[in-house]
Amino acid sequence: MRDQKEAYTLLLTALVFRQFGVLGKTKALKCADQAGLIVDDNGNVKSYRGSGNSAIKRLVDAYVSYIGIPAKISCTMLIRKIAKENDISLDPNLIPLKNHKRLNLTTYDTSKIIAIGASTGGTEALKQVLVKMPPDIPAMVIVQHMPKNFTKSFAQRLDSLCSFKVKEGTHGDPLVRGQALIAPGNYHVRLKKTGTTYHIETNQEEKVHYQRPAVDVLFESVAKCAGKNAIGVILTGMGGDGARGLLRMKESGAKTIAQDEESCVVFGMPKEAIKLGAVDKTVTLSKIADSILGFLKK
């Protein structure tokens, strides 16, 4: 078993590395400095002030100041994983979660389907939205315009940052609470329903808006299968993919959200959706997660 100092240094370094991925290097190093850590440019913790427990608490508090309470969930999951893999004995109350409110099943409708579409600038936008979501979020299906062989690693990166499971979708995958499916590159994804359960189907039919996967293909299938039991979100991106499909979702009773112009890298897809009257709510990127949770309230 590792000695205590070495164990906590390992855990703190892992948390800093995670922040590199979520916040970027500059903000991550700033958080480390706020927490009283001495860290090299690569994120390796050399020393820390006070006890290991207090150093981790300070670091997580700094992290929370940027992305909110879900940071506590994701950090705790990471700490438990590293402790188990390295035979580290830790205080079970290292990062108490008693003040974190999970989705209350009597208050929020977790049976809904969340469909998200994005293109240019979407990888960063999706990260900012998903890391703020609680672990028991309703099932999600996401289309990000991305070439083949890149979507799997993108899903794995998001999985390492989020408090719920994120994976590249495959034909027949069921939609379950606490999981997001990323459309595989070069494949369209459609939502299907069998009885009371949802799953996805993938295909290589003709490109739509020069894209495969296409957001419209997903959104139109969600409108058909889920109707009012869905929430549609369109994020930054070039062109008009997803606008027509989002309109179909709204017409079928779903709630719809678009990213605003100011926070978009390219205000193309959201703009076209707004022009069609497909959007219930237009908000800045930092407010999209809260808007989704707001629509989940019963």
pLDDT over 80 at 72, yes or no: no
State residue 100's pLDDT score: 45
Residue 133 DSSP SS3: coil
> What is the set of active-site residues?
119, 145, 241
CB 22 within 8 A of CB 68: no
**pLDDT tens-digit map of 79-108:** 777 777 777 666 655 554 444 455 665 567
Model pTM? 0.73
> Does residue 162 or residue 240 have the better pLDDT?
240
Select from 297, 222, 292 the least CA-distant residue to 252.
222
pLDDT confidence of residue 94:
59
Question: What average pLDDT does this structure show over 59-82?
Answer: 72
Say which amino acid occupies 66. Answer: Y
The 10s digit of each residue's pLDDT in 220-266 is 999 999 999 999 999 999 999 999 999 999 999 999 999 999 999 99
Residue pair 175/198 in contact (Cβ under 8 Å)? The answer is yes
Of 211, 176, 177, 172, the C-alpha closest to 192 is 172
